[in-house]
């Protein structure tokens, strides 16, 4: 059973989940696999592209089972993991965390102005998701118990493959399979958390996460640019700075079911940011077309 659009946006329908323990899940019906050939797009721009998209019992993918460095897209899942801790009584949205100079690393639009004062767990999550604040992400990981606790979250939602190895900014650097995910797994996680009626997120948690994902100003040239006019995009970007450019989330048509999508593009080093983002937009259009949209 899938949640309708209104239910998705307000977060209705929930399953209580203590901590990060895995919930009992009903037997899933295998989605109908549709063709998605992005070989021409790859040949035109170089690099390696991974895409998975799913909605209404259908899915399409290109390199869907290959691993990609996820960069800051993981921050969507970090926020979800923290929200589950709040639900379990292990954390509080209003708990104030001191922010120190020792926490500072590159890209700190929310935390740097707060050095010497405090930010709440809710403010740290909002900054992590909306503007991808790196120190905020590291603080949240620290407060939940480190990378082992974040890894346990993934296993708790049925993701046995995503790697969790390092903090920001090291996790952006390609190193074998460290800090990688497959497009298929990312889409499954998105559906589990934000689409499935038995999501472990309660209505309040889901509504908060959806608000941050929709309000994020980043990535205007990525999935947002590939979605039809008038459709809502709830997403989280990730950028490696040396080639990887990613975007994952939900595309919400005015009518109809939400579309889960994950696009990971490891571009060539000589390409520009605009060129890399345009590839994600083109891949989004082609993926939507494969599902019958456009």
Catalytic center residues: 72
Instruction: Return the exposure string of 45-81: e unless at least 16 CB atoms fall within 10 Å of the residue's CB, then b.
Output: bbbebbbbbbbeebbbbbbbebbbbbbbbbbbbbbbb
DSSP 96-160: EEE--GGG--S--TTTGGGTTSEEEHHHHHHHHHHS--HHHHHHHHHHHTSHHHHHHHHHHTT--
CB 183 within 8 A of CB 264: yes
CA 141 to chain centre: 16
Pick from 142, 144, 127, 133: nearest CA to 169 = 133
Q: How many CB atoms lie within 10 A of CB 6?
A: 8
Alpha helices in the chain (DSSP H): 5-10, 39-45, 74-87, 121-130, 134-144, 147-156, 183-194, 203-215, 223-226, 273-290
Between CA 93 and CA 122 the distance in angstroms is: 5
For residue 115, give every residue at least 6 positions away whose Cβ sits within 8 Å of its Cβ, in sequence order, or none. 99, 100, 101, 103, 104
Longest dimension (CA), the chain: 53
């Amino acid at each position: 059973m899938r949640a309708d659009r209104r239910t998705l946006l307000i977060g209705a329908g929930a399953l209580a989940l203590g901590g990060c323990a895995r919930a009992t899940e009903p037997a899933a019906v295998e989605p109908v696999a549709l063709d998605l050939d992005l070989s021409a797009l790859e040949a035109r721009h170089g690099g390696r592209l991974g895409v998975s998209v799913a909605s209404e019992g259908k899915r399409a993918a290109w390199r869907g089972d290959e691993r990609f460095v996820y960069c800051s897209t993981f921050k969507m899942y970090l926020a979800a993991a923290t929200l589950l801790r709040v639900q379990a009584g292990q954390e509080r949205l209003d708990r104030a965390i001191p922010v120190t100079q020792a926490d500072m690393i590159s890209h700190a639009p929310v935390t740097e102005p707060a050095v010497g004062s405090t930010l709440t767990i809710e403010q740290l999550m909002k900054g992590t998701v909306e503007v991808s604040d790196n120190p905020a992400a590291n603080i949240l990981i620290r407060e939940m118990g480190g990378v082992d606790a974040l890894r346990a979250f993934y296993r708790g939602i049925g993701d046995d493959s995503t790697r969790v190895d390092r903090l920001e900014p090291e996790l952006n650097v390609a190193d074998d399979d460290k800090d990688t995910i497959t497009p298929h797994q990312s889409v499954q996680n998105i559906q589990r958390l934000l689409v499935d009626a038995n999501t472990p997120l309660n209505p309040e948690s889901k509504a908060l996460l959806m608000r941050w994902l929709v309000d994020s100003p980043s990535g205007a040239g990525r999935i947002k640019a590939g979605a039809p006019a008038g459709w809502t995009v709830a997403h989280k970007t990730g950028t490696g700075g040396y080639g990887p450019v990613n975007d994952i989330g939900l595309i919400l048509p005015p009518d109809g079911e939400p579309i889960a999508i994950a696009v990971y593009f490891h571009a060539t080093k000589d390409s520009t940011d605009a060129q890399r983002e345009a590839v994600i937009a083109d891949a989004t259009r082609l993926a939507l077309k494969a599902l019958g949209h456009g």
